A and B are shown apart, each in its own frame.
Chain A
Amino acid sequence: MDELELLKKDWKKQESSLPHYKAKELYPMLLKKSSSIVKWIFIISIIELGLGIILNIFMMDDNFWKELENMHLKTVTIIIYCLSYLITGFFIYKFYKNFKSISTTDNASRLMRNILKTRRVVKHYILYVLISAGITGLLFFIFTFIYPPEGIELNPESINWFKIIAIGVFMITIFLLILWGIYSLVYGILLKKLKQNYREIKKLEMQS
Chain B
Amino acid sequence: MTKELENSFVELLEKHQNIVHKVCRIYTNSQDAHNDLFQEITIQLWKAYPKFRGEAKFSTWMYRVALNTAITLYRKSKRRVKTQDFDTVLFRIKAEEYDDTTEQQLKVMYAALHELNDIDKALVFLYLEDKNYNEISEMLGVSEVNARVKMNRIKKKLRSILNP
Q: A residues engaging B (CB < 8 A)?
A: 2-4, 6-8, 10-11, 13-23, 26-27, 29-30, 32-38, 103-112, 115, 190, 193-194, 196-197, 200-201, 204-205, 208
* B32 close to A (CB within 8 Å): no
Q: Is the CB of A208 within 8 A of B14?
A: no
Give CA–CA (A195, B88) in the complex, Å: 29
Q: Is the CB of A34 within 8 A of B93?
A: no
28 pairs, CB–CB < 8 Å, chain A vs chain B: A4-B154, A4-B155, A7-B109, A8-B127, A14-B25, A18-B18, A26-B10, A26-B13, A26-B14, A26-B17, A27-B6, A30-B6, A34-B40, A105-B51, A105-B61, A105-B64, A107-B139, A107-B140, A107-B141, A108-B72, A108-B139, A110-B141, A111-B141, A196-B118, A200-B119, A200-B120, A204-B142, A208-B149
Q: Is the CB of B93 within 8 A of A13?
A: yes
Q: B residues engaging A (CB < 8 A)?
A: 6, 9-11, 13-14, 17-18, 21-22, 25, 38-40, 42-44, 46-48, 51-52, 61, 64-65, 67-69, 71-75, 92-93, 95, 98, 102, 105-106, 109-110, 113, 117-120, 122, 124, 127-128, 130, 138-143, 145-147, 149-150, 154-155, 158-159, 162
Residues of A within 8 A of B52 (CB): 105
Residues of A within 8 A of B46 (CB): 30
Given contacts A10-B92, A200-B118, contact A37 B105 (CB under 8 A): no
Q: Is the CB of B93 within 8 A of A22?
A: no
Given contacts A32-B39, A103-B48, A104-B69, contact A10 B106 (CB under 8 A): yes
Tell me the nearest residue of chain A to B45, going by C-beta: A104
Q: Which 6 A-B pairs have the closest CB atoms?
A: A109-B141, A107-B141, A36-B73, A208-B149, A208-B146, A200-B119
Residues of A within 8 A of B147 (CB): 204
Tell me the nearest residue of chain A to B163, going by C-beta: A3
Give CA–CA (A83, B4) in the complex, Å: 50
Q: Is the CB of A23 within 8 A of B68?
A: no
Residues of B within 8 A of A200 (CB): 117-120
Residues of A within 8 A of B14 (CB): 21-23, 26
Give CA–CA (A48, B45) in the complex, Å: 29
Tell me the nearest residue of chain A to B102, going by C-beta: A6
Given contacts A35-B40, A104-B47, contact A15 B72 (CB under 8 A): no
Give CA–CA (A32, B36) in the complex, Å: 11
Q: Is the CB of A7 within 8 A of B6?
A: no
Give CA–CA (A8, B146) in the complex, Å: 21
Residues of B within 8 A of A18 (CB): 18, 21-22, 25
Residues of A within 8 A of B22 (CB): 14, 18
Give the contacting residue for A30; candidates B40, B42, B102, B124; CB below 8 A: B42
